[in-house]
């Protein structure tokens, strides 16, 4: 556990220290987020915050490779190289998009290339809980992996609409996945030094290191460079976790913890997935393209209710934490206790959403 915490701290510190450097580079090379009708910021803001997060990832991986316990993750396993290859491709794609504004087909091709590279180099979904345990053939495994990665990347990118929102949601999701992967290793006597837990620790550190620069009013945005990177890492942590669990070796009493790696990612990104689903339905009913921008996302609706930007972000963070940690607790806590916790949390958060309280006009969009 101490080595995981050290890696998290290193990734967070590097991200925090490199973010001002990334900001200056973005200004110098013109990677700026101009003000658009659907945006909530009121002045051009530098992008490329994801470049600092990528530096945090590289630094954390380097330190982890030198630690006594974590070194086992890198010995004789090509998955760390697969992860870094996919991350590098997605960062290059994001840097170009933040600077020049790539069209949707080009971005999609780049995302598939990054996900496909990871899959071909060793990060793959190997099985599904169908008719017991269904082992996937190589082609199906690669295609399903690409689908999961691309979906997660775009879900995170979709929710990146308020200062600190995406970094907070993914940071919370990473902490939930880390808790789950570590507790699963302990309870089932699996090697505690796993790439899945390491990715989660580094991802949480990256998000925590970036947030001080990104809280409203943000001095820099992570841009597509950052949102696609953290989405890819989030998907990778889930995929590598399932690959280290052999469901056939586990008894029925621990079947739920085994299946949760497939279900938990949907829970931890439930908020952005819901936002995506509502947007598709809303725009289709209005006979518009599902990709047409608007100002009816969940965070926009919270602002319309009278919440400040910070309060709206805090509420969405709270919903993410409630859903994610409830899903994790299903594997280790009695169902009754989990249900009570979730029910009380829903009531409290629903009340906070309905009652915006006093708002600070300076924090409004």
Condensed to tens digits (0 to 9), the pLDDT of residues 261-280 reads 566 667 767 776 777 777 77
User: Which of residues 21 and 323 earns the better pLDDT score?
Assistant: 21
What average pLDDT does the structure give for the chain? Answer: 84
What pLDDT, on a 0 to 100 scale, did the predictor assign at position 134?
Answer: 72
**Domain span at 86:** 2-273
Instruction: Please check whether residue 322 lies inside any domain of the structure.
Output: no
Instruction: For residue 269, give the nearest of 329, 310, 218, 327 by alpha carbon.
Output: 327
CA–CA gap between residue 83 and residue 68 (Å, rounded): 21
Is 234 in contact with 206 (CB distance < 8 Å)?
no
Is 281 within a domain?
A: no
Element housing 31 (H / E): none
| Rounded distance between C-alpha atoms, residue 265 and residue 167, angstroms | 16
39/41 Cα distance (integer angstroms): 6
For the chain, the domain total comes to 1
pLDDT (average), residues 21-26? 96
Encode pLDDT of 328-365 as tens digits: 888 778 889 989 999 999 999 999 888 876 544 444 44
Comparing 36 with 87, the larger pLDDT belongs to 87
| Start-end of H helices in the chain | 2-29, 49-64, 71-74, 79-100, 104-121, 138-159, 165-187, 195-214, 223-243, 255-268, 270-285, 298-304, 309-329, 335-354
| CA gap 209, 202 in Å, rounded | 10
Query: Residue 199 and residue 182: Cα distance in Å, rounded?
Result: 12
How far apart are alpha carbons 139 and 54 in whole angstroms? 30
How buried is residue 87: exposed, middle or buried, by Cβ count under 10 Å (0-12/13-18/19+)? buried
* Pair 241, 181: CB distance under 8 Å: yes
**Dist CA 363 CA 304 (whole Å):** 13
Question: Is position 297 within any domain?
Answer: no
pLDDT reading at 295 higher than 90: no
Specify the pLDDT at position 359: 47
In a domain, 205, yes or no: yes
Instruction: Judge if pTM exceeds 0.75.
Output: yes
pLDDT tens digits, 183-239: 877 766 666 778 989 999 999 999 999 999 998 888 999 999 999 999 999 999 888
HSE, CB side, 13 Å, CA atoms: give it for residue 251.
3
- For residue 69, tell me if it sits in a domain: yes
**Residue at 187 is within a domain:** yes
């Amino acid at each position: 556990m101490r080595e995981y915490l050290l890696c998290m701290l290193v990734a967070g510190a590097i991200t925090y220290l490199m973010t001002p450097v990334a900001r200056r580079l973005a200004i110098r090379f013109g990677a700026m987020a101009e003000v658009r009708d659907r945006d909530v910021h009121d002045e051009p803001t530098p992008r490329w915050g994801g470049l600092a997060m990528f530096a945090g990832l590289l630094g954390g991986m380097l330190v982890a490779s030198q630690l006594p316990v974590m070194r086992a993750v890198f010995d004789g396993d090509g998955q760390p190289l697969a992860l870094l290859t996919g991350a590098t491709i997605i960062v290059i794609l994001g840097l170009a998009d933040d600077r020049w504004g790539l069209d949707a087909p080009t971005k999609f091709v780049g995302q598939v290339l990054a996900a496909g590279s990871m899959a071909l180099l060793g990060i793959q979904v190997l099985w599904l809980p169908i008719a017991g345990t269904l082992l996937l053939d190589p082609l199906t495994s690669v295609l399903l992996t690409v689908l999961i990665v691309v979906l997660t990347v775009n879900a995170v990118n979709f929710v990146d609409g308020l200062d600190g929102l995406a970094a907070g949601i993914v940071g919370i999701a990473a902490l939930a996945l880390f808790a789950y992967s570590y507790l699963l290793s302990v309870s089932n006597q699996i090697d505690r030094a796993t790439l899945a837990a390491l990715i989660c620790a580094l991802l949480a550190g990256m998000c925590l290191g970036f947030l001080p620069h990104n809280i409203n009013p943000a001095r820099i945005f992570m841009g597509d460079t950052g949102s696609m990177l953290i989405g890819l890492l989030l998907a990778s942590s889930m995929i590598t976790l399932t690959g280290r669990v052999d469901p056939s070796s586990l008894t029925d009493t621990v079947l739920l913890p085994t299946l949760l790696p497939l279900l938990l990612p949907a829970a931890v990104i439930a908020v952005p997935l819901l936002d995506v689903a509502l947007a598709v339905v809303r725009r289709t009913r209005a006979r518009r393209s599902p990709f047409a921008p608007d100002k009816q996302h969940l965070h926009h609706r919270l602002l319309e209710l009278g919440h400040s930007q910070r309060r709206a972000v805090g509420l969405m963070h709270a919903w993410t934490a409630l859903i994610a940690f409830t899903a994790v607790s299903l594997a280790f806590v009695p169902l009754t206790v989990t249900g009570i916790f979730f029910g009380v949390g829903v009531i409290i958060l629903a009340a906070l959403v309905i009652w915006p309280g006093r708002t600070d006009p300076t924090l409004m969009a």
